[in-house]
Amino acid sequence: MNFIRRTVLGMVAVAAALPAVAQDDSIKVGEINHYKRMAAFAEPYKKGIELALSEINEDGGVLGKDLEFIFRDDQGDPAEAVKIAEELMTRDGAVMFTGSILSHVGLALSSFAAEKGYLYLASEPLADSLVWKSGNPWTYRLRTSTWVQAAMLAEEAAKTDAVTYATIAPNYAYGQDAVAAFKENLTRLKPDVEFVAEQWPALFNIDAGAEVQAIERAKPDAIYNVTFGTDLAKLVREGGDRGLFDGRDVYGLLTGEPEYLEPLGDEAPEGWFVTGFPWYAFEDGTPEGTFVAAYEDATGETPKIGSLVGYMTAQSIAAAINAAGSTEGDAIREAFEDLQVSGTPIGDLTYRAIDHQSTLGAWVGTTAVEDGMGVMVDWEYKDPAPYMPTDEEIGEMRPAE
């Protein structure tokens, strides 16, 4: 009798607990990033995700459940990132995964996604090979194409009298893609242009003095810079001290992003034409201004480009799962094809079926120092469509599916 009584009571207890379990159920997404190694970008990115999640879940969640992100740190190591992705999908119940800032990590995750049939939204990796030469059915990308941003800078450079150029970029997938894109676009617009020096410092290990000397020896009319983070800070300071930028046009990919420009303070370069994120100049009541205000209210901090990317990452995933009407990987993958995400800080966003690239554009403008802080002035937001390769060119680059 005691055994029967214990069994019945146990069954009652389990039954009583079931509703609570159901109420706590959520749709889980794995988020893999370099939270320690690249905290300046990754932490605002995470806060942008958390802001979007709070709004999504307050509005009813996704398919009637809360949307939940499981954040994991890969230390910037491709092998570790792949290991984490496997754990998230097979052990932690994630329906897909997202993340990565560094392109070589993103490429590893993309390859793994294709091998296993897992959906991967590459939120931040900038190497265009993710969606073109190494593209696959299971990988989509949110961040603006490197080709597009480089083409915007090349368009401005082509308007000047400069003929000889030096380039400097970190020696990995993103830097290589960024230089190739600028050279191809500028040469097409100005066939007589000549590239007289190419510098390839190791990522986050730049010898700024040696790089500045090498560029100065080449005597270029203008400079194209792809360094960012601590590498950018060292280049700006060393180049400024040695007069490298005096009398030269400089074009900076990512240089106008707050993560990299604001830490320079009053040492920020002036007069560079750059891509970035001028959050401080958005008007109240605009989609961008509304995002900035909500982010500041939620975090007590000013936003970075990473904040925007994180916010739109969560918005995109919620829209895809809702459109799929399912948490099955195949259904989410198909939903991403020509998916339109409404209500983002830049308006409607679409994920192109032809190459799985989003239609996020870029802000371009000129650097200046105001009140002891580097900012972008004379800026504008540019749509990416006029700068993209043709559909035929993309079809030739992207592997057949």
- Same domain membership, residue 228 and residue 367: yes
- Same domain membership, residue 370 and residue 253: yes
- Same domain membership, residue 372 and residue 239: yes
3 occurs within a structural domain: no
Q: Tell me the angle at which helices 39-58 and 287-299 cross, rounded to the nearest 10 degrees.
A: 100
What is the average pLDDT across 354-375? 98
127 occurs within a structural domain: yes
What pLDDT score does 15 carry?
Answer: 41
9 occurs within a structural domain: no
- Same domain membership, residue 183 and residue 266: yes
pLDDT bucket at 201, cuts 50 / 70 / 90: very high
- Same domain membership, residue 160 and residue 257: yes
Residues with Cβ < 8 Å from 240, sequence gap 6 or more?
Answer: 267, 269
pLDDT > 90 in the chain, percent: 93
Asked whether the beta carbons of 80 and 36 are under 8 A apart, the reply is: no
- Same domain membership, residue 235 and residue 201: yes
pTM assigned to the model: 0.92
3-state secondary structure at position 248: coil
- Same domain membership, residue 161 and residue 271: yes
CATH of the domain at 327: 3.40.50.2300
- How many domains does the chain contain in total? 2
What is the average pLDDT across 59-65? 98
1 occurs within a structural domain: no
- Same domain membership, residue 383 and residue 237: yes
Burial class of residue 372 (count of CB atoms within 10 Å of its CB; 0-12, 13-18, 19+): exposed
What is the average pLDDT across 13-41? 73
What is the average pLDDT across 183-199? 98
Say which residue the tokens 């190591």 belong to.
77
Please count the CA atoms within 13 angstroms of the CA of 9 that sit on its side-chain side. 6
11 occurs within a structural domain: no
Q: What is the pLDDT of residues 225-282, one digit of tens each?
A: 999 999 999 999 999 999 999 999 999 999 999 999 999 999 999 999 999 999 999 9
- Same domain membership, residue 235 and residue 375: yes
Task: Report whether pLDDT(10) > 50.
Answer: no
Task: Report whether pLDDT(308) > 50.
Answer: yes
Calculate the average pLDDT of the chain: 94
Alpha-carbon distance of 295 to 314, in angstroms, equals 14
Structure tokens at 367: 């650097």
Task: Report whether pLDDT(6) > 90.
Answer: no
What pLDDT score does 401 carry?
Answer: 78
Residues with Cβ < 8 Å from 22, sequence gap 6 or more?
Answer: none
217 occurs within a structural domain: yes
399 occurs within a structural domain: no
pLDDT bucket at 400, cuts 50 / 70 / 90: confident
Asked whether the beta carbons of 81 and 109 are under 8 A apart, the reply is: yes
- Same domain membership, residue 263 and residue 299: no
- Same domain membership, residue 259 and residue 213: yes
- Same domain membership, residue 356 and residue 366: no
Task: Report whether pLDDT(212) > 60.
Answer: yes
Residue 213 sits in which domain range?
Answer: 147-278+362-387
Q: What is the pLDDT of residues 321-342, one digit of tens each?
A: 999 999 999 999 999 999 999 9
Residues with Cβ < 8 Å from 90, sequence gap 6 or more?
Answer: none
245 occurs within a structural domain: yes
